[in-house]
Amino acid sequence: MQNNINVDINQTTPVICEECNHTLFEQVLHIRKASGLLTGTGKPSYIPIPVFACQKCGHVNIEFQPKQGKELE
């Protein structure tokens, strides 16, 4: 997330929840697990991926989901 951009708020567009049209979001985490064989440690590792979820209904818009072959559930 970029905090130091210098843009007039009037030149931006709101982000709206695809499910309930709410406009407030909060940062939440997707947690992915990698096997010890992949990490080379012999123990599973957990990878936190920050995303934004609707504060009202919890939905994560497609634009906020991590890029991968199929959508996270």
Helices (H), the chain: 36-39
Is 12 part of a structural domain of the chain? no
Mean pLDDT of the chain: 89
Is 16 part of a structural domain of the chain? no
Is 2 part of a structural domain of the chain? no
Is 31 part of a structural domain of the chain? yes
Q: Where are the beta strands (DSSP E) in 17-63?
A: 25-34, 45-54
Is 8 part of a structural domain of the chain? no
Q: Full-prediction pTM beyond 0.85? A: no
Mean pLDDT of 20-29: 98
Domain count, the chain: 1
The one-letter amino acid code at 15 reads V
Is 13 part of a structural domain of the chain? no
Is 7 part of a structural domain of the chain? no
Give the pLDDT confidence of 42-71 residue by residue, as tens digits. Answer: 899 999 999 999 999 999 999 999 887 554
Range of the domain at 31: 26-67
